[in-house]
């Protein structure tokens, strides 16, 4: 039988195993544009779960371990590959629900649930990817469970089938065959499964390889768990301000102090003019909030789980790493906006046009679902529009939707920064959320985007070799120009998508590695060709990776 302890340790082993090889998995990406890097995203995703596992005791059930694992993976998911990995394990947790330990049929059922969850979340499933690998693993598990009662044999059959499926991915995707590689996401999944198998079959947790940069996650000692659960009498630290109201039911702050002292300790209640400052440690944060609401509306609410922080500090957090509890803003406004971008200039620009919170991230820096959720909860709005501005962030953003229980979250499928800017500029507070969502996406899809970056690896595009370090011009995500002159590539890429009598506005956003003078040279070339038919703006975005991001409208 597979116990909760075995599952717990297997996730830690899996995280170490894929982290040891994450750069090799990254190298399997065939598209030369610098991207979110599959191996890194999957490694960071499952490492979030490994830290959660390290806080579980030895007597945990497989239900408890798989449920905690799925929750941590969901919140830690980065990039499309990380989200799919989290969905597979969410399915596993459904298969193990209510079980103390798992048998052969339970393992097979968990695989089936994992496949169902992953396929349902992908709008257009592509065979020859991680989806194929996990599906064929599941099918092998189903067949083995019919003739074998040993769950280890079922798991081993699934792993072998997964390896065979991975080897066949180049036959299903021509781009893989041409590059002579297997699917990166599928390879990452194999590494996860191999790390788990090391524990299930051999009782050995894979350890970090020297020089891999992996920080080991240790299993918990009994004293750690005891400290985390028993030594802290009151587990929640609540801090907030009460904005006093003449219509409040209660007026006397001393009465509030007396109540808080009856349910907790470290009580601070300071009556300061129109504000009451409150701090308390308790086991009933909901009761704290309800009592405070009798005095007025609450602002700057912050609730920390101190037991959770203590457990992380003991078993999963590196020296000097801070455990951050997100700020939660009361949803008071009708609408709010969360956007994702990288670069000081772009961050300022999105703030200027109405973004409440800007999440730092983008190409090669995919934020996690938790990063996006924290931004949503820090937005004081009943309806929050999230603009990922990158196709590899959309799935992670969508996973945050059901997690924000006290507000509605709408993810707009913006794939570039210019699409995000155009969408926000088209917002109209006088119309409904549905109408706004439709209008904003219409505006986003009307934008043409040119991007100039460098080749992160040797590759081949439309039969033409691309060498690492060469400059590439992308038109709406497709590589159209390759060369060595950044400004010339920027001009050609913009010229390719600009249509006279159809477009008139061009915004040149320049980033790291180029100067304003470089941007002006691009502007001059475009003005020389199109004259009065074109209106050009130049913005210092400060973005990494892309020398230029250019919008055409």
Q: Which residue spans within 201-332 are E strands per DSSP?
A: 236-244, 264-272, 275-282, 296-305
| CA–CA gap between residue 162 and residue 193 (Å, rounded) | 9
| CA–CA gap between residue 195 and residue 209 (Å, rounded) | 13
* Nearest residue to 189 via CA among 163, 228, 215: 163
Beta-ladder partners of 239: 279, 302
Residue 310 is predicted with a pLDDT of: 55
* Nearest residue to 512 via CA among 363, 391, 388, 386: 363
Q: pTM score, two decimals?
A: 0.76
| CA–CA gap between residue 123 and residue 217 (Å, rounded) | 35
Pair 443, 415: CB distance under 8 Å: no
Residue 325 is predicted with a pLDDT of: 53
Helix or strand or coil: residue 303? strand
Q: DSSP secondary-structure letter at 209?
A: P
From the DSSP assignment, how many helices (H) and strands (E) are in the chain?
A: 21, 18
Residue 417 is predicted with a pLDDT of: 93
| CA–CA gap between residue 497 and residue 476 (Å, rounded) | 8
Q: Is 429 exposed, middle or buried (0-12, 13-18, 19+ CB in 10 A)?
A: exposed
Beta-ladder partners of 244: 296
User: 62-76 vs 38-53: helix axis angle to the nearest 10?
Assistant: 140
| CA–CA gap between residue 478 and residue 99 (Å, rounded) | 48
Helix or strand or coil: residue 267? strand
Residue 313 is predicted with a pLDDT of: 47
* Nearest residue to 491 via CA among 349, 543, 483: 483
| Tokens of residue 324, six digits | 């951050």
Q: CA–CA distance from 270 to each of 247, 257, 277, 457 (Å)?
A: 20, 9, 5, 59
Q: Are strands 381-387 and 408-411 parallel, antiparallel or unpaired?
A: parallel
Q: Name, in order, each residue with C-beta under 8 angstroms of 258's C-beta and a sequence gap of 6 or more.
A: none
Q: Name, in order, each residue with C-beta under 8 angstroms of 262's C-beta and a sequence gap of 6 or more.
A: none
Half-sphere exposure of 5 (CA within 13 A, CB side): 8
Residue 323 is predicted with a pLDDT of: 47
| CA–CA gap between residue 130 and residue 81 (Å, rounded) | 8
Q: Is 508 exposed, middle or buried (0-12, 13-18, 19+ CB in 10 A)?
A: buried
Would you tell me how many other CB atoms lie within 10 Å of the CB of residue 69?
Answer: 29
Would you tell me how many other CB atoms lie within 10 Å of the CB of residue 29?
Answer: 22
Phi, psi angle pair for 464, to nearest 5°: -110, 130
Helix residue ranges per DSSP H, 332-386: 344-352, 369-377
* Nearest residue to 414 via CA among 451, 450, 443, 434: 443
| CA–CA gap between residue 97 and residue 200 (Å, rounded) | 19
Q: Mean pLDDT of residues grouped by 10 in the chain (553 residues)?
A: 92 92 83 74 91 88 91 88 91 91 93 91 83 93 92 93 93 83 91 93 86 55 45 74 82 87 80 76 86 85 70 48 61 92 91 92 80 90 94 90 86 94 94 94 94 83 79 90 93 93 91 92 93 92 91 92
Would you tell me how many other CB atoms lie within 10 Å of the CB of residue 119?
Answer: 15
Would you tell me how many other CB atoms lie within 10 Å of the CB of residue 178?
Answer: 13
Pair 452, 547: CB distance under 8 Å: yes
């Amino acid at each position: 039988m597979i116990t909760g302890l075995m599952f717990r340790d297997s996730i830690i082993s899996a995280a170490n195993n894929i982290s040891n090889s994450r750069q090799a998995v990254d190298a399997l990406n065939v598209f030369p544009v610098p991207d979110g890097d599959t191996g890194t995203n999957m490694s960071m995703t499952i490492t979030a779960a490994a830290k959660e596992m390290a806080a579980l005791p030895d007597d945990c059930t497989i239900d408890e371990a798989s449920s905690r694992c799925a929750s941590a993976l969901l919140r830690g998911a980065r990039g499309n590959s990380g989200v799919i990995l989290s969905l597979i394990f969410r399915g596993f947790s459904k298969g193990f629900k209510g079980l103390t330990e798992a048998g052969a049929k339970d393992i097979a059922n968990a695989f089936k649930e994992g496949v169902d969850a992953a396929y349902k979340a992908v709008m257009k499933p592509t065979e020859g990817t991680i989806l194929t690998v996990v599906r064929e693993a599941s099918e092998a598990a189903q067949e083995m469970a019919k003739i074998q009662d040993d769950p280890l044999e079922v798991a081993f059959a699934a792993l072998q089938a997964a390896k065979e499926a991975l080897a066949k991915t180049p036959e299903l995707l021509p781009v893989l065959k041409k590059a002579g590689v297997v699917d990166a996401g599928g390879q990452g999944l194999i590494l996860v499964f191999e790390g788990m198998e090391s524990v299930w079959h051999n009782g050995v947790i894979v350890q970090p390889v020297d020089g891999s940069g992996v920080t080991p996650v240790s299993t918990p000692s009994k004293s750690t768990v005891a400290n985390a659960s028993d030594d802290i009498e009151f587990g929640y630290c609540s801090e907030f301000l009460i904005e006093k109201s003449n219509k409040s039911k209660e007026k006397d702050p001393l009465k509030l102090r007396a109540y808080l002292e009856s349910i907790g300790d470290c009580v601070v209640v300071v009556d300061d003019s129109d504000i009451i400052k409150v701090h308390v440690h308790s086991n009933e944060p909901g009761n704290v909030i309800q009592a405070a609401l009798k005095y007025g509306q609450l602002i700057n609410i912050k609730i920390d789980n101190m037991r959770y922080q203590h457990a992380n500090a003991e078993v999963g957090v590196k020296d000097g790493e801070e455990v951050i509890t997100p700020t939660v803003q009361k949803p008071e406004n009708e609408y709010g906006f969360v956007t994702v971008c990288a670069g000081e200039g772009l961050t300022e620009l999105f703030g200027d046009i109405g973004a409440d919170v800007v999440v730092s991230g983008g190409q090669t820096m995919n934020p996690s679902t938790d990063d996006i959720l924290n931004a949503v909860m820090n937005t004081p709005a009943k309806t929050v529009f999230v603009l990922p501005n990158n196709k590899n962030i959309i799935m992670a953003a969508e996973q945050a939707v059901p997690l924000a229980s006290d507000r509605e979250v709408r993810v707009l499928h913006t794939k570039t920064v210019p699409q995000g800017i155009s969408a926000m500029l088209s917002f109209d507070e006088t119309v409904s959320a549905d109408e706004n969502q439709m209008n904003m996406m219409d505006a986003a899809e009307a934008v043409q985007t040119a991007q100039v970056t460098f080749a992160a690896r040797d590759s081949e595009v439309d039969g033409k070799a691309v060498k690492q370090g060469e400059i590439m011009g992308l038109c709406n995500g497709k590589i159209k120009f390759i060369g060595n002159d950044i400004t010339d590539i920027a001009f050609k890429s913009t010229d390719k998508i600009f249509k006279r009598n159809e477009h008139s506005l061009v915004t040149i956003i320049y980033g790291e590695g180029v100067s304003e003078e470089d941007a002006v040279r691009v502007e001059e070339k475009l003005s020389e060709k199109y004259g009065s038919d074109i209106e050009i703006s130049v913005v210092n975005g400060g973005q990494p990776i892309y020398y230029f991001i250019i919008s055409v409208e």
